[in-house]
């Protein structure tokens, strides 16, 4: 950020609103639709799009029936027809009803057409546990979408990146899944005013360090920073790498950092088995095996559905204490 850029304090919800507002203003081809998004239906279930249909018209900011296949399908068609639609799928668990449009169509139409029909859509979705919404409204399912060639996937850890990554997603020529940690909607932070783009594919060093690299994304970055602070007190210097983009992943940044620290911990809320942490772990071992002090440590959700009771849910969710343990384990390992 240069000095000229004004910064305002905003919640993540406001930052997203801002990104949507600016994108709709900039390009008449940008559309926003999904359940409840227009003003007569409250401007979105989290009130994120409040005011936008009044400002840009209900033909551009439009509430839909509860029909996720129809929503994603319409986004795909409109994209092929020349638009840049942003489709909102209220919770990521509901990807399950629209996976065919997402995987078999949005992701593959460019390839199957030999490059003729790109699908520049953005799919925004709220995800993550911690609200006692139970097993069907709390999942992080990035592992499903990162395994689908043709999709890009981003997850921001703070309001500014939320704005910047969403803006990049909207103007990207490929389908981008934007995962928004639900609980973060009410978290605030400094956000650059005016157009703000965080390029897709670039990780960010949330905290520099030298003993171990903690690689994570989304809501877990905050807790990783807390963990790093705690560990600094124990004399352990943790570098926190915020991936920001999951596909295409900034492998260079990951490998450069781990090559320096020689130790890595990968953290995510999603369940451990087959989570994205496995991919990152494999990647690091494949590239840096001889330089590591020990194996990459994974800190992730247990292999269970997400329970309702607050006490169990908070056990399910990876927190900074879990990360502290993971880092200590990584540090104890020496060749």
Partner 1 sequence: MTETLPQRTPDKETLARMFELVTAINLTDERFRTLLSSGRARSTYYSPKGQECISAAFGALLRPDDYCVTMYRGLHDHLAKGVPMRELFAEFLGRVTGTCKGKGGPMHVTHPASGLMVTTGIVGSGLPIANGLAWAAKLSGTDQVTIVNFGDGASNIGAFHEALNLASVWELPVVFVCQNNRYGEHTRYEWATSASQVAQRAAAYEMPGVTVDGNDPVATYWAADEAISRARSGGGPTLVEAMTYRFWGHIFGDNMRYMPPEERKAAMDADPTVRYRNWLLEHGHLSEAELASIENDTLAAIDDAIAFALDSPPPGPDELYTDVYSETVVPA
Ligand X SMILES: Cc1ncc(C[n+]2csc(CCOP(=O)(O)OP(=O)(O)O)c2C)c(N)n1
Contact between 272 and 316 (Cβ < 8 Å):
no
Handedness of CA 164, 169, 173, 174 (dihedral sign): positive
Alpha carbons 25 and 28: distance in angstroms, whole number: 7
Question: CA–CA distance from 242 to each of 13, 72, 110, 153, 213 (Å)?
Answer: 20, 29, 30, 14, 10
Which one of ligand X, a copy of itself, partner 1, none interacts with residue 285, CB within 5 to 8 A by kind?
Answer: a copy of itself
- Interacting span for ligand X (CB under 6 A) from 89-97, 120-128, 243-251, 323-331: 89-97
125 membership: H or E segment, kind and range: strand 122-127
Tokens matching residue 222 = 């905050």
Helix (H/G/I), strand (E/B), else coil: 224: helix
Alpha carbons 289 and 63: distance in angstroms, whole number: 51
Nearest distance in Å: CB 252, ligand X: 38
Which CB, 81 or 274, lies closer to partner 1? 81
Q: What is the pattern of x (binds a copy of itself, CB under 8 A) and - over residues 128-147?
A: ------xxx------xx-xx
Question: In sequence order, what are the residues at sequence separation of 6 or more whose Cβ sits closer than 8 angstroms to the Cβ of residue 111?
Answer: 149, 150
Among positions 21, 195, 256, 279, the unique one binding a copy of itself when judged by CB under 8 A: 279
Residues 144-163 that bind a copy of itself (CB under 8 A): 144, 146-147, 149-150
Among positions 32, 74, 76, 90, the unique one binding ligand X when judged by CB under 6 A: 90
- Interacting span for partner 1 (CB under 8 A) from 16-24, 65-73, 238-246, 291-299: 65-73
Which one of partner 1, ligand X, a copy of itself, none interacts with residue 3, CB within 5 to 8 A by kind?
Answer: none
Considering 137, 147, 268, 285, which one is annotated as catalytic?
Answer: 137
Helix (H/G/I), strand (E/B), else coil: 114: coil
Respond yes or no: is residue 47 known to be catalytic. no
Residues 74-113 that bind a copy of itself (CB under 8 A): 93-97, 99-100, 102-104, 107-108, 111-112
Contact call for residue 168 and ligand X (CB under 6 A): no
Tokens matching residue 163 = 């704005």
Strand arrangement, sheet containing 212-216? 204-207, 238-242, 212-216, 264-271, 297-301
Which CB, 183 or 278, lies closer to a copy of itself? 278
**Residue 6, Ramachandran bin (φ over 0: left; ψ between -120 and 50: alpha; else beta):** beta
Which residue, among 280, 293, 213, has the nearest Cα to 245 in the 3D structure?
280
Alpha carbons 25 and 19: distance in angstroms, whole number: 10
Which one of a copy of itself, ligand X, partner 1, none interacts with residue 268, CB within 5 to 8 A by kind?
Answer: none
Which CB, 3 or 286, lies closer to a copy of itself? 286
Contact between 213 and 241 (Cβ < 8 Å):
yes
Which one of a copy of itself, ligand X, partner 1, none interacts with residue 327, CB within 5 to 8 A by kind?
Answer: none
Contact call for residue 234 and a copy of itself (CB under 8 A): no
Tokens matching residue 175 = 């389908």
Contact call for residue 115 and a copy of itself (CB under 8 A): no
The residues annotated as belonging to the active site are 137
Chain residues that interact with a copy of itself, rule: CB under 8 A: 93-97, 99-100, 102-104, 107-108, 111-112, 134-136, 143-144, 146-147, 149-150, 247, 270-271, 273-279, 281-282, 285-286, 289-290, 292, 294-298, 303-305, 307, 333, 335
């Amino acid at each position: 950020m240069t000095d000229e850029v004004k910064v305002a304090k905003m919640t993540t919800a406001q930052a997203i609103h801002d990104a949507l507002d600016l994108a709709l203003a900039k390009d008449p081809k940008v559309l926003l639709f999904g359940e409840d998004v227009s003003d007569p239906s409250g401007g979105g279930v989290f009130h994120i799009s409040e005011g936008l249909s009044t400002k840009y018209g209900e033909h551009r900011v439009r509430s839909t029936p509860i029909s996720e296949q129809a929503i994603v399908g319409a986004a795909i068609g409109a994209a092929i027809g020349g638009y840049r639609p942003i489709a909102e799928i209220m919770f990521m668990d509901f990807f399950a009803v629209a996976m065919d449009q997402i995987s078999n169509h949005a992701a593959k139409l460019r390839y199957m057409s030999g490059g003729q029909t790109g699908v520049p859509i953005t799919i925004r979705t709220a995800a993550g546990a911690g609200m006692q919404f139970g097993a069907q409204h709390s999942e992080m399912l990035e592992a499903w979408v990162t395994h689908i060639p043709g999709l890009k996937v981003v997850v921001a850890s703070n309001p500014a990146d939320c704005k910047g990554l969403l803006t990049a997603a909207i103007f990207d020529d490929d389908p981008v899944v934007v995962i928004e940690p639900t609980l973060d909607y009410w978290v605030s932070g400094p956000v650059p005013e005016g157009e703000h783009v965080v390029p897709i594919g670039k990780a960010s060093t949330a905290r520099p360090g030298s003993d171990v690299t903690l690689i994570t994304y989304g809501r877990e970055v905050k807790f990783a920073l807390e963990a790093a602070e705690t560990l600094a007190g124990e004399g352990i210097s943790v570098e926190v790498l915020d991936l920001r983009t999951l596909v295409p992943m900034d492998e260079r940044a990951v490998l450069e950092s781990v090559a320096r620290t020689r130790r890595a911990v990968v953290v995510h809320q999603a369940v451990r088995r087959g989570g994205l942490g496995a991919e990152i772990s494999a990647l690091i071992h494949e590239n840096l095996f001889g330089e590591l002090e020990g194996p990459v440590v994974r800190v992730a959700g247990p292999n269970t559905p997400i329970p309702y009771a607050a006490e169990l849910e908070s056990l399910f969710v990876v927190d900074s204490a879990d990360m502290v343990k993971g880092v200590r384990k990584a540090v104890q390992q020496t060749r």
